[in-house]
Structures are given as structure tokens and as C-alpha cells.
Amino acid sequence: MVTSIQALCQPVPSREAISEQTFRVRVGEQVKLERLVWWLVEQGYERCDTVELPGELSIRGGIVDVFPPDRTEPVRIEFFGDQVDSIRLFDPETQRSSQRLDVVELPGATERSLQGAWTRAHFCEYLPPDTRVVVVEPDDVEDQAKQYLARVGHGSGCFEIRETWQRLYKFPTVFAAAIAPGSMETTWPMPVTSIERFSGELDRIRHELDTVAAEDHVLIACQNEAESRRLAEVFAETAVRGAGRLLIGIGHVRSGFRLLVRRHLRSLRGLPEQLRPLAEAPGLVLVAGHELFQRQPARPMPRRRRYESRAIDSFIDLRPGDLVVHVSHGIARYGGLKLIERSGQVEEHLVLEFADGVLLYVPASKIGLVQKYVGTSKAAPALSKLGT
């Protein structure tokens, strides 16, 4: 499972709250159909003609079709009077019943009935004991958490970053981060030299490759799978391939080179014992596939235009009329905040105006998708067209 630190800081309903707000239906029990339907509607289920999506509910005579949000298939409950006659899963596409169940637990479809401090729990409480946690770029994650918590405020009920870390650390945790330039205390010189030029003629390339890498391992970087397969056939009979010293892969290399590690290590005085095997190991020659046939490497496709922008730490950073950059849609003009009701819940949305007056409403909880435009040009940029 992949998640964000913003999501981990948000509280979730406790197990006790969910258990209290769960309707248990068992085959053979006496349950009034009207009471079950009333409870489902109160818990956020939406009535429809045909149940296809989680949170939907359909009633046809003495049959109740309901799609609980915690299941991958909807449930069909058949009544005989006030008695539950059968419970079966069914396919939402074909509407055909399948597996029979003796009992089913129906949770609420929304969190509206689970509001309140007594329901506050941390997501980590639901993780299995053998969970392994990987935190990618922990410094960036902590910065994002601080910015998010500053935006939503202390009254949001979110967990502080320190408390979230403490709960995560109960599980085996690995931190993955790039090594910043200059952060290594010790550097090791890697002497290299250019390799001989290849003739480009197929009949001579095999011999040239054996000459270039008489005692070394060879790695050929190809631009695609087709080139990789072709070169594997071309060099199948070479000495370097026969000795198991040829590796063909896919990657981008501007020009080939030879690593002179062995020669460099042999020239050192007082070489540590653990490095002596490297002084006797074969060298490495890296060859770009296009060099073999004297072709120019394929030019990469132009990247999508990027705009100068910076992250927004809070709504205070924005004023109506400011230019912003949406990560997917480009430059827009910020038009303020607007309350919008969706599924019975009211949330603030950022109003973004694009070209031709087209408006886009971005939930405040997704403010990370919007950055403030900080272009250095004096001329105001044109607004982007939404959907292009």
C-alpha cells in the first residue's frame, strides 16, 4: 500500500465506532426489511435502480441489494416476511448471484455517523503486526507534513507529525533517500579513458570488440529491446561473449569509456587488504550501442512545458487575481475560496479560472496540486486552456 504523510496525519474512525455502527444480518433471523432500509439510508447509502458501485442500495419487493464499501462484491439479502431467507454475493455487471453467506456485516457508507472525538483513531492501528514500512525521502515527508498541518490548523483533529512517527516506528522501518552531492565524507577517484573508435562495418565490429575488451567485462547500452536483440545475435560468436564477459542492456550513454580501476589500485601504496581483490579483477568497458555502427543517438522527446512556481504553504499566500500553476492543467488565475457540498459534506474549494473563462474547483484538501506562479518575466503569461 502506498500513501502520503498528509493521509497518515488524518484521523480515522476507531474499531469501536465502526463496530457500533455496523448492522449484522444473519440467515434465519427476524429483521424488519423497513428497519434495515431505514438504517442503510441513514448511514449514507444511496438508493438506485441497480446496484453497481460501493455505497449503493436497491430494493425490489422482498430483496435488498446493497454494496458495502469494505467488500469487492455487493450483497443480495432476500426476505420471507420479516425473516432473512438467504444472503448471497452477486456480480454487479451481470447481476447474477454467486456465493452464499450465513451472515454479513454492513458498515456505514460514509463517515458522517462516525464524527466525534470518541471515534478518533490513527490509521496505523489497523495495520497487521508484520507490516514493513518504507519512508521515501524522510526529510521531504516531514516538511510536507508540517506544511499540511499548518494549512489545516490545530482544530482539524489531525495527528501531529511526532505522534505519527511514533506510531510508524512500532513497525520495522526503512528510510530511503538520495545521497546529496557533497554529503559523503570520503570520495574515491574513478579514473576513466575513452575507448577506441569502431569502424561501423559489421564484419569488423566483432573483432574490434574482442580487441577493445581483451581482458575486460563489456557492457553495451542499447536504446531499445529491438537493438538489444540484434546485437545479441551479432556478438553471439565473439570471444568476449564466449568468455561470459559480455552484457547487453537498455540505457542511455552518450559515449563509451573504460574504467581504469585495476590500474589505479595497483599504483596505490599501502592498498588495504579488503581492496586487493579488486586490483586483480577484470576491468569494465562501457559501450554505447550507437557507437558500434557510428549512428547518432536518438533525440529524446521534448518534455512537457514546465512553469516557474513554488509550493503554497497556506491560503494566506494567495489573493484573488494571483496567477497559479496547476500541476496537470497549467497556468490559471486564483479566484478565491468557495464552499461546495458533495455527498452531504461541505468543503472549501479553490476557484481556478483558465482561458476562455473556464472554471476548475480544487478541493482545499488537495492544495498540493496548486502552486503559486513566480515567473521572472515582466509580461503576464497567458492562461492555459483546460483539457489541452
pLDDT tens-digit map of 220-229: 888 888 888 8
Calpha distance 331→109 (Å, rounded): 37
Give residue for cell 468543503: 347
Beta bridge partners of 175: 135
Mean pLDDT (the chain, rounded):
80
pLDDT recorded at residue 294: 64
Sorted by sequence, the CB contacts under 8 Å of residue 11 that are 6+ apart come out as 119, 120, 121, 122, 157, 158, 159
CB 21 within 8 A of CB 107: yes
Average pLDDT over residues 183-198: 67
> Per residue in 277-296, pLDDT tens?
655 666 778 888 777 766 65
Q: How far apart are CA 18 and CA 265, in angstroms?
A: 65
| pLDDT of res. 206 | 75
| CA distance to 15, 35, 78, 94, per residue, from 89 (Å) | 25, 21, 11, 12
| Lookup: cell for 213 | 575488451
Residue 172's closest CA among 128, 214, 142? 128
The domains located in the chain, with CATH, are 21-113 (3.30.2060.10), 192-291 (no CATH), 314-387 (2.40.10.170)
Per-residue pLDDT tens digits for 102-158 = 999 998 887 665 555 456 789 999 899 999 999 988 888 888 888 888 887 776 788
Query: How far is the first Cα of the chain from the last one, in angstroms, to the nearest whole number?
Result: 32
Q: Whole-prediction pTM value?
A: 0.41
Cell numbers given for 239 = 570471444
